[in-house]
Chain A
């Protein structure tokens, strides 16, 4: 059975139509509702992570004003901030949120292949978040072991949350992996099996390629975290010694004996490094589409972009030990991982060149999504270049565990994906909500976020050069940390507070525009990909009305020579390429293009 004939598939979909409010918005099997649910939970969790970061930044910048941050809470806040942002926020919002929303729409499907499993996925994800948040309320509080959860200190009395906190964290991660697997299977199978007629793999927008490869990475990488979490649970709950070595705690020897903490590090980073790309690849895809649409040009080097995504995905599994240079490894081992790490810069740089070349001589429209997309190119180049430094063993050793590392990974996988996230939300908001947001507010939000992010992370590189260590509750007075460094720390905190608070602008804009925003054109940016061609805005259940679309071309037919309009949607046959009279898109009349 190579396909489900159109007629049958439509009849089958008919049966899933929701009837009551609860079916429609709570136990919904509609991928768009599930996407919003995923996104909502992820954003809420991300806000918790943001508030935690502001609290420990206060401690670092102005220790005398923060009585509520004691050393234990500091470690807990740092740990939870890290884990929340990487796993529960970024992974969930890119794949659970955008993956769910975009995959069926961009592939021309009515929904995911397994809508029930999709629904289950979001509720299991919510369960994992609830378990994670519960650790704030148990005795001892959440784990404070650092987001990498290295044994043996995770389980030892000196670490906050060493009893219930770490157990809840591990269970929550295991539950998250179950949720991710259910969602991920859906994305992969939907992309492979449910594309509409004419949508070949190489006609898919890069967003779908990014989500596809990232999901495949996740389905290979998360098992490593699952294995590590299960074995660590056994160590903490049942007293086995997979990871726990013979260790003395406050004068008494623990029952553990002979375990290998390094084994945990290998498992953790075998997950941890691909995880970077699980976040980055969907971001790469989304930003490619945003850049292409607003530059009114086809993406430069589409095929190479696809190959680069696949190459990065493959290489991401053989670089993990560059996180472990200081763990005492064989120099040849370090040499191997330094080499692979530098090799992965090749496809990544290729993507950056292609983004810049997409802009080259484009008919650039400086709409809000374009601000964020170009901002992303800056922060990503910046964070990527510091990665080249840290990828080399000899440079990494002195910089390891300093603020330089913090600055690097926040630039490359914190700020950069979040800028893409904003670009994507502002780009697809008109389709998702049927409303336009306030442009001015959005631009203010961009400048505060973009410049603020630089004000936070640029000085951190310098602190790292000085040798200021990360994960210290207070720096104290030492010779190598002058007063100026302390002042810099205070300035970083002020910048962080401003950036943190300015995100309110985003929420005011996005939520307020739902009510007060002016009605959006179905295709305000003049985009060619399929999700903008739905008969309804926002798309209704089933997405495509009576008939599934047919695709005749790739997703990047912008400014085609000889065409009468500067984009040709994917579902327009060659014979019917629009002429001036039948186009519905008119930049002069469209208010969203007013500032062009």
Chain B
């Protein structure tokens, strides 16, 4: 779809049916995928605004940078594995095969759950070390942004669990194809968001 071409059409000159025999969407894909991409845009805006606020707040004199716990590297590894397993599951499911599908699909979810557990453990450790949320805005931002990222992942796990139930109750790969494809996209997005967050948190 050429945007410029579209908006420079002269609708009063062109009459008759334009396009094929069927109603056509603007994008050549499923509506669910369009909706998900749109949601990802919104989520990106939310995270970007938090990051902008983070940078603005950082300039003020009471800011004491938080030294991020080393365990975050382990957690990052778990999230990467989760994304890799989802990609694997997707590659299986688009071929509508079943071999290894369970391993890939459930593995992806398990690694994501382990990531969340790992994040909670870092929270615990920080609390134990006296890094309370109210002690410094840097701490508050850490809890806020990791918490928000975790919530997004939980939302993804909810969709994953629905597909899991469908798969376990005898569903065929094609039944969960779209859902796996969209989950994979979502997981890659959340991995990207996490890498950006982690990069910024670790370097400031």
Contacts and interface: CB of A to CB of B under 8 A. Distances in A.
Interface of A: 1-6, 9, 108, 113-114, 181, 185, 188-189, 192-203, 219-220, 223-224, 226-227, 230-231, 234, 238-242, 255, 257-260, 263, 266-267, 270, 298, 302-303, 306-307, 310, 548, 550-554, 556-557, 573-574
B137 A240 contact: yes
A307 B14 CA distance: 19
Contact of A6 (B12, B23, B39): B23
A157 to B, nearest CB: 19
B38 interface: yes
Contacts of A259: 57, 60, 137
Contact of B144 (A181, A231, A263): A231
B62 A3 contact: no
Those 4 A-B pairs whose CB atoms lie nearest each other, nearest first: A258-B62, A193-B25, A554-B11, A240-B140
B29 interface: yes
Contacts of A551: 17
Which residue, A240, A241, A310, has most C-beta atoms of chain B within 10 A? A240
Contacts of B41: 219-220
B110 to A, nearest CB: 29
A361 B50 CA distance: 53
Interface residues of B, number: 45
16 contacts: A1-B28, A192-B25, A194-B25, A197-B24, A200-B11, A200-B18, A201-B9, A224-B45, A240-B137, A258-B63, A258-B137, A259-B137, A267-B49, A298-B12, A548-B23, A574-B16
A242 B42 contact: no
B17 A197 contact: yes
A242 B54 CA distance: 9
B8 A303 contact: yes
B57 A263 contact: yes
A197 B31 contact: no
A227 B46 contact: yes
Contact of A227 (B9, B27, B53): B53
A202 B31 contact: no
A3 B49 CA distance: 36
Nearest to A108: B23
B31 A113 contact: yes
Interface string B60-73: 11110000000000
B12 A193 contact: no
Given A258-B137, A302-B12, A307-B7, A3 B22 contact: yes
Given A192-B26, A219-B41, A258-B61, 8 more contacts: A3-B22, A113-B35, A185-B38, A192-B25, A195-B24, A201-B26, A557-B12, A574-B15
Contacts of B60: 258-260
Contact of B19 (A1, A181, A200, A263): A200
Contacts of A196: 23
Contacts of A3: 22-25
Nearest to B44: A223
Given A6-B23, A258-B137, A548-B23, A220 B35 contact: no
A189 B57 contact: no
B49 A195 contact: no
A310 B34 CA distance: 20
B45 A193 contact: no
Nearest to A271: B49
Contacts of B17: 197-198, 550-552
A293 B82 CA distance: 56
Contacts of A224: 45, 49
A238 B23 CA distance: 52
A185 B29 contact: no
B52 to A, nearest CB: 9
A198 B19 contact: yes
A227 B56 CA distance: 14
B15 A552 contact: yes
B102 to A, nearest CB: 27
B134 interface: yes
